[in-house]
């Protein structure tokens, strides 16, 4: 490494965020840029650690440890320290098609596995990844690279989320003619409508990459819902290979009394409508709006946080976020050792904004919904919660138990269900005739990524279940490699 003692000389620094009260009044990204001198110092903190666990990309105890796309992290950290930004970008693009996305929205399991993080704050890998990519766009280094030779083979990718885009980009690079089908009105999938604009800007970041992919020769067709207005059997006939990348979009529901009341919505319906209205230039016209309402978000993950932040920008009157799990500890627990992802208490951007507005973290832990209560018009009026504890049942499994006498009523005219996803929606899979596993995911081994139907491959959350964007990109790239091998007999794709 260029600065062997850098980790001893420099403290971990992150870019300053815009103040919570200020940023919650608009939809712009909330991170501020960091000056080059400080970025290079952060790159210098990367150790000559011998075995860089940051880029291993493994699953340990159900969570990602290290970078799933196997980014060459120590290499581009060193190049940043040396001020060799264009070379750093080249290294970054070797393993990741979309570092401008992951640098913004990935939870950074690489940092959780940083060797420096064993006994000190880890290297700011995620921030440096974004800085490298953003500089590449600003300097004009990221340009369309259409293939020099076309194979004449045609591939259709169903779904334009991170897995579908990665598969399309790699297959196009191999020279195949790639068509991407998207059922929404804009391509991008989760990147477009599942993540709010203040976290991932749609026009400046997402659409910029999509335009470049079109210039490279990839064709996007929107409002194309396979199984409804697109016949699956025709795809199998017209294309030499098919890649299913539809994601795990079936939301987990809340089977309690009052679920059918008005004002109770799935998180993705809420987030999609908010972004569509914003892109149309009328954010106040979102079909589900929190203005002046008491909002309750059920679920403590990233999607729940995005609902919190969106409701803040829409001017909610109050906000509560309910989480059935206990509050994580401030530091790693004994059963959560390095290099596992650290399960610790964090205040994300949405909670910080709610705390600035209402005076406290909006999350309530070890809490679940007992029932929903409506008004005379059939709209939700309040949620009745109950405290729970986690206990072992007769089979030794941890299960939630209600605490007697802990019921509490919370005012709510808008309830958002952000409790995760059960897997892919089934109609398309049934239409194509692909086999599914016991969880309803597309059945395909991670090596060949081939489904039960010849010539039909799959990647991303529809195969592995709800997961991280970096896993989706990893799978999209890996599936593309297998499709190329299937079509050509061998492959040079990385």
The per-residue pLDDT for range 466-494, each reduced to its tens digit, is: 999 999 999 999 999 999 999 999 999 99
Residue from 459, 456, 486 nearest 235 by CA: 456
Q: Is the CA virtual torsion 87, 91, 92, 96 positive or negative?
A: positive
Q: What span, in angstroms and rounded, lies between the C-alpha atoms of 240 and 162? A: 22
Residue 372 tokens, joined: 């929903």
Tell me the average pLDDT across 265-283: 98
DSSP state letter for 17: B
For the residues 437-465, what does the mean pLDDT come to? Answer: 95
Phi-psi region of 368 (alpha: psi -120 to 50; beta: other; left: phi over 0): beta
Q: What is the DSSP track for 407-432?
A: -EEEE-SEEEE---EEE--HHHHHHH
* Conformation bin of residue 436: beta by default, left when phi > 0, alpha when psi is -120 to 50: beta
Q: Which domains does the chain have, with CATH numbers?
A: 6-139 (1.10.1060.10), 154-249+422-488 (3.50.50.60), 253-419 (3.50.50.60)
Check residue 48 and give its pLDDT: 86
pTM of the model: 0.96
DSSP strand pairing (380-392 vs 367-374): antiparallel
Q: Please name which of 382, 314, 389 lies closest in space to residue 354, comparing C-alpha atoms.
A: 314
pLDDT in tens, 15-67: 999 999 999 999 999 999 999 999 999 999 999 898 999 999 999 988 889 99
Helix, strand, coil percentages (3-state) for the chain, rounded to 5, are 35, 20, 45
Please, which pLDDT band fits residue 2 given cuts at 50, 70 and 90? confident
Contacts 24+ apart (CB under 8 A), 70-74: 70/95, 70/474, 71/95, 71/96, 71/110, 71/129, 73/46, 73/110, 73/123, 73/125, 74/1, 74/46, 74/49
pLDDT in tens, 149-193: 999 999 999 999 999 999 999 999 999 999 999 999 999 999 999
194, 271 contact by CB (below 8 A):
yes
Average pLDDT estimate for 82-90: 98
CA-CA distance, 349 to 28, in Å (whole number)?
A: 13
Task: Please check whether residue 97 is in contact with residue 69, taking contact to mean a CB–CB distance below 8 angstroms.
Answer: no
Q: What is the pLDDT of residues 360-387, one digit of tens each?
A: 999 999 999 999 999 999 999 999 999 9
Q: Are 148 and 130 in contact (CB under 8 A)?
A: no
Res 63: pLDDT: 86
How far apart are the C-alpha atoms of 370 and 296, rounded to whole Å? 14
Indicate if the pLDDT at residue 446 is higher than 90: no
Query: What value does the mean pLDDT take over residues 227-233?
Result: 91
What's the CA angle centered on 116, arms 113 and 122, to 5 degrees?
70
Q: How far apart are CA 108 and CA 282, in angstroms?
A: 33
Average pLDDT rounded to a whole number, residues 66-75: 96
Q: Quote the tokens at residue 82.
A: 């040396």
Whether 1 shows a pLDDT value over 80: the answer reads no
Say if residues 54 and 74 touch (Cβ distance below 8 Å): yes
Query: For residue range 301-340, what is the model confidence (pLDDT) as tens digits?
Result: 999 999 999 999 999 999 999 999 999 999 999 999 999 9
Strands (E), 299-404: 318-322, 363-364, 367-374, 380-392, 398-402
């Amino acid at each position: 490494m260029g600065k062997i003692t850098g980790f001893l000389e420099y403290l971990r620094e992150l870019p300053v965020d815009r103040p919570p009260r200020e940023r919650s009044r608009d939809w712009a990204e909330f991170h501020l840029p960091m000056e080059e001198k400080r970025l290079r110092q952060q790159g210098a903190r990367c150790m000559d650690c011998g075995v860089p666990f940051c880029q291993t990309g493994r699953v340990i105890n159900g969570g990602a440890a290290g970078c799933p796309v196997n980014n060459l992290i120590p290499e581009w950290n060193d190049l940043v320290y040396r001020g060799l930004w264009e070379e750093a970008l080249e290294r970054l693009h070797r393993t990741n098609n979309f570092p401008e996305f992951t640098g913004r929205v990935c939870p950074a399991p690489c940092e959780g596995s940083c060797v420096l993080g064993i006994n000190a704050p880890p290297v700011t890998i995620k921030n440096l990844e974004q800085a490298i990519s953003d500089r590449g766009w600003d300097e004009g280094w990221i340009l369309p690279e259409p293939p020099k030779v076309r194979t004449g083979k045609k591939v259709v990718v169903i779904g334009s989320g991170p897995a579908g885009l990665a598969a399309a980009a790699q297959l196009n690079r191999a020279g195949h003619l790639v068509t991407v089908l998207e059922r929404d009105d804009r391509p991008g999938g989760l990147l477009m409508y599942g993540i709010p604009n203040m976290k991932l800007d749609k026009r400046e970041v997402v659409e910029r990459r999509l335009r470049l992919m079109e210039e490279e020769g990839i064709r996007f067709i929107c409002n194309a819902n396979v199984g409804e207005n697109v016949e699956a059997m025709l795809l199998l006939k017209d294309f030499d290979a098919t890649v299913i990348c539809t994601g795990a979009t079936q939301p987990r529901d809340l089977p309690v009394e009052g679920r059918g009341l008005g004002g109770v919505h799935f998180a993705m319906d809420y987030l999609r409508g908010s972004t569509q209205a914003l892109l149309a230039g009328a954010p106040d016209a979102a079909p589900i709006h929190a203005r002046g309402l008491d909002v309750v978000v059920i679920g403590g993950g990233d999607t729940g946080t995005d609902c919190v932040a969106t409701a803040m920008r829409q001017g909610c009157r109050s906000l509560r976020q309910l989480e059935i799990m206990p509050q994580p500890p401030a530091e790693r627990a004994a059963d959560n050792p390095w290099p596992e992802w650290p399960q610790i208490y964090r205040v994300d951007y949405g909670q910080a904004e709610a705390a600035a507005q209402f005076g406290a973290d909006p999350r309530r832990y070890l809490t679940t919904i007992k029932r929903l209560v409506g008004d005379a018009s059939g709209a939700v009026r309040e949620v009745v919660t109950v405290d729970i504890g986690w206990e072992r049942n007769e089979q030794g499994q941890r299960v939630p138990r209600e605490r007697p006498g802990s019921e509490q009523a919370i005012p709510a005219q808008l309830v958002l269900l952000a409790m995760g996803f059960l897997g892919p929606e089934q109609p398309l899979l049934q239409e194509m005739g692909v086999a599914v596993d016991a969880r309803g995911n597309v059945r395909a081994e991670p090596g060949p990524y081939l489904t039960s139907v010849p010539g039909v491959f799959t990647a991303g959350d529809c195969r592995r279940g709800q997961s991280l964007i970096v896993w989706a990109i990893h799978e999209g790239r890996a599936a593309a490699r297998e499709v190329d091998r299937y079509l050509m007999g061998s492959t040079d794709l990385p």
